[in-house]
Amino acid sequence: MTGSVAVIGAGPGGLVAARWLLAQGFEPTIFEQTQTLGGQWTGTAGISGVWPTMHTNTSRILTSFSDLEHEKDLTFPSNRDILAYLHRYAETFALTSRIRFGTRVELLSRSDAGWLVESSGTAETFERVIVASGRFQSPYVPTVPGLDTFTGTAGAMPTYRYRESHPYLGKSVLVAGGAISALEIASELAQLGVRVVVAQRRQRYVLPKFAAAVPSDSRIFTRYGTLANETLPPAEIDRQLKEIVLEAGGSPEQYGAPAPDPSLFAAGVTLAQQYLPLVAEGRITVRPWLESVDGKTVTFTDGSTDAFDGILFGTGFELDLPFLDDQIRSVVGLDTVHLDADRYTFHPDLPGLAFVGMWDQSGGYFVPLELQARWVAYTWGGVIPEPGDGELRSAVDAYRARRGTSQKSRMNLVALSFARAAGVEPNPDDWPHLRRALLFGPLAPSCFRLQGPDALPDAPARFARDAAAFGAITSNELTEREQRYWAAVETARAMR
């Protein structure tokens, strides 16, 4: 029992958590309800929204952990490549033998001796528990009057259940939603000649996969972006992010889509490679949100109507942790959107319990998942001090104060908050030859092995290589714009 940790879920979050727990001398047991590891990346119906033709929308380097590289050098690997990577990761760190496949956790509760995990008719006590059961397991479909009367032959369902284009070929399909799942599936179907209409409640800006010749996640999710977010007025951050998006792909109305709100924060931003050009070619039509459905006919909020054979809802996900008992649920104030915890992880009234991967963000998950796993393992392993009770409570209060506002964060904000907590945030002043890469380059996993616990001797060379390959940063000299932007941040910091 000493050192025992139950890890619920063998997706990327559960695997990377187990890897870092092992390094701290813990004994993780991973509970996985399916017969295979990899979570979303298995494409398994019911636990994954990944469809067979899907590629990552995050660059390879930001879809990897810090001590295993991908075998292929594709910038945007296929979902099968990511699954193969996760299998290799599990083998490399001797995780596979620790997974109890086909074992669904039905109930998690506190016991006098620790944490009681009930699964498949058995109950077992563990000293600690990590909940890593996934943030995108429960698709959300908004209420639309008359939806239950829909008679299209291809039916109405969430994109989460989309697996193949075949049922839609030669038909007319409504894709509801304005973010990645909706726009990527709309694009796939439109390119196969399907008549596609996209219905959305607002027009987001749409970033292509490359911005100024580098993967756009390298440009948009930087350490500079986090520091600017902490120091400059929100309107200036909005302007800078919009500048990157407009330079990369222009604005939707230039392609014939509706004009988004001038503020990027108000309009939202998403990422899709083919979508806007397909709108420009007339192969996708954009409509406002659905007012009602009657048989095959959909009425939109502008009063227009159209008939469809199928409807796909790419309308997001609800937070869903059905196995938490009522006491844990009440402590963290769990609902379909919120979970009160210090930086999505710890709660002072639930010692020995940590949540991994339960936040919603734009950008890649692998880097922040690993940093969160290291934070948890270092805290429990005594490498860094446990946060004090007062500190935890005020962090939880700060989270609670943001209830009801958008819960979507950005990868760079989340990653750096975990890196700081884990004591592995690199200090650019300590790495003068990497300064520009650390500020304006990709948040590659290698940069979080430069200093602090588990620093690696080859991390500087690896990070320099990653920044060159994924951020086109081959010189340490800031561009004129970077100098201007960085000077504004330094001035704002000096004035604090």
Ligand X SMILES: NC(=O)c1ccc[n+]([C@@H]2O[C@H](COP(=O)([O-])OP(=O)(O)OC[C@H]3O[C@@H](n4cnc5c(N)ncnc54)[C@H](OP(=O)(O)O)[C@@H]3O)[C@@H](O)[C@H]2O)c1
Ligand Y SMILES: Cc1cc2nc3c(=O)[nH]c(=O)nc-3n(C[C@H](O)[C@H](O)[C@H](O)COP(=O)(O)OP(=O)(O)OC[C@H]3O[C@@H](n4cnc5c(N)ncnc54)[C@H](O)[C@@H]3O)c2cc1C
Residues at the contact surface with ligand X, assessed by CB under 6 A: 54, 56-57, 136, 142, 177-181, 184, 201-202, 204, 268, 289, 314-316
Residue 46 or 390 having the CB closest to ligand Y: 46
Find how far residue 436's CA is from the centre of its chain: 26
DSSP SS3 for 235? helix
Beta strand 297-300 with 305-307: parallel, antiparallel or unpaired? antiparallel
Smaller CB separation from ligand X, 56 or 218: 56
The window from 44-52, 324-332, 414-422, 476-484 that contacts ligand Y (CB under 6 A) reads 44-52
| Region from 45-53, 121-129, 226-234, 468-476 binding ligand Y, contact rule CB under 6 A | 45-53
Task: Give kind and range of the element (H or E) at residue 311.
Answer: strand 310-313
CB of 368 to ligand Y, least distance (A): 9
Rounded to a whole number of angstroms, the minimum distance from the CB of residue 180 to ligand Y is 7
At residue 206, the 3 state secondary structure works out as strand
Contact between 161 and ligand Y per CB under 6 A: no
Distance CA 388, CA 408 (A): 27
Report the partner that residue 323 touches, choosing among ligand Y, ligand X, none (CB closer than 5 to 8 A by kind): ligand Y
Judged by CB under 6 A, the chain residues 340 through 359 that form the site for ligand Y are: 357
Asked if residue 315 binds ligand Y (CB under 6 A), the reply is no
Among 39, 249, 316, 426, binds ligand Y (CB under 6 A): 39
Pick the binder of ligand Y from 5, 20, 58, 252 (CB under 6 A). 58
Between the alpha carbon of residue 211 and those of residues 205, 219, 249, 256, the distances in Å are 14, 7, 8, 21
The total number of residues written for the chain in this structure: 496
Instruction: Confirm or reject binding of residue 133 to ligand Y (CB under 6 A).
Output: yes
Residue 414, both tokens: 């989340």
Calculate Rg over the CA atoms of the chain. 23
The three-class DSSP label of residue 305 is strand
Q: Closest distance between ligand X and the C-beta of residue 184, in Å?
A: 5
39 binds, among ligand Y, ligand X, none (CB under 5 to 8 A by kind): ligand Y
Residue 177 near which of ligand X, ligand Y, none (CB within 5-8 Å, type-dependent): ligand X
Interacting residue with ligand Y among 5, 7, 21, 47 (CB under 6 A) = 47
Residue 365 is a binding residue for ligand Y (CB under 6 A): yes
Q: Does 89 bind ligand Y (CB under 6 A)?
A: no
Q: Which two tokens stand for residue 367?
A: 């880097």
Q: Restricting to residues 166-185, which ones interact with ligand Y according to CB under 6 A?
A: 181
Place of tokens 């006590």: 125
Residue 184 touches which member of ligand X, ligand Y, none, C-beta under 5-8 Å by kind = ligand X
Residues 62-81 that bind ligand Y (CB under 6 A): 63
AA letter at 313: F
Query: From CA 373, how far away is CA 345, in angstroms rounded?
Result: 10
User: Residue 40, interface with ligand Y (CB under 6 A)?
Assistant: yes
| Touching ligand Y, residues 12-31 (CB under 6 A) | 12-14, 31
Among 28, 152, 177, 364, binds ligand Y (CB under 6 A): 364
Q: Kindly compute the dihedral angle of the four CA atoms of residues 114, 24, 380, 337, in this order, to the nearest 10 degrees.
A: -90
Q: Does 56 bind ligand Y (CB under 6 A)?
A: yes
Dist CA 487 CA 478 (whole Å):
11
Does residue 290 contact residue 299 with C-beta atoms inside 8 Å? yes
The candidate with the shortest Cα–Cα distance to 371, out of 444, 283, 289, 457, is: 444
In the complex, the smallest distance separating the C-beta of residue 48 from ligand Y, rounded to whole angstroms, is 7
412 binds ligand Y (CB under 6 A): no
In the list 5, 6, 7, 8, the residue contacting ligand Y (rule: CB under 6 A) is: 8
- Listed residue (300, 453, 440) closest to 374, CA to CA: 453
Nearer Cβ to ligand Y (13/460): 13
Of 109, 91, 80, nearest in space to 6 by CA: 109
| Minimum distance of ligand X from residue 383's CB (angstroms) | 30
First vs last C-alpha separation in the chain: 48
Q: Based on CB atoms, which residue is closest to ligand X, 148 or 477?
A: 148
275 neighbors 186 (Cβ within 8 angstroms): yes
* Shortest Å, Cβ 293 to ligand X: 14
Q: Considering only residues 6, 24, 34, 396, which one is a binding residue for ligand Y as defined by CB under 6 A? A: 34
Task: Select from 5, 24, 28, 33 the one that contacts ligand Y (CB under 6 A).
Answer: 33
Question: Whole-angstrom Cα distance, residue 411 to residue 494?
Answer: 26
The CA distances from residue 25 to 97, 113, 377, in Å, are 16, 20, 9
Q: Is 90 left (phi over 0), alpha (psi -120 to 50) or beta?
A: alpha
Q: Which does 441 bind (CB under 5 to 8 A by kind): ligand Y, ligand X, none?
A: none
Rounded Cα distance, 475 and 482, in Å: 13
| Interface with ligand Y (CB under 6 A), residue from 136, 275, 344, 431 | 136
Note the residues at the interface with ligand Y (CB under 6 A).
8-14, 31-34, 39-41, 47, 49-50, 56-58, 63, 104-105, 132-134, 136-137, 181, 323, 357, 364-366
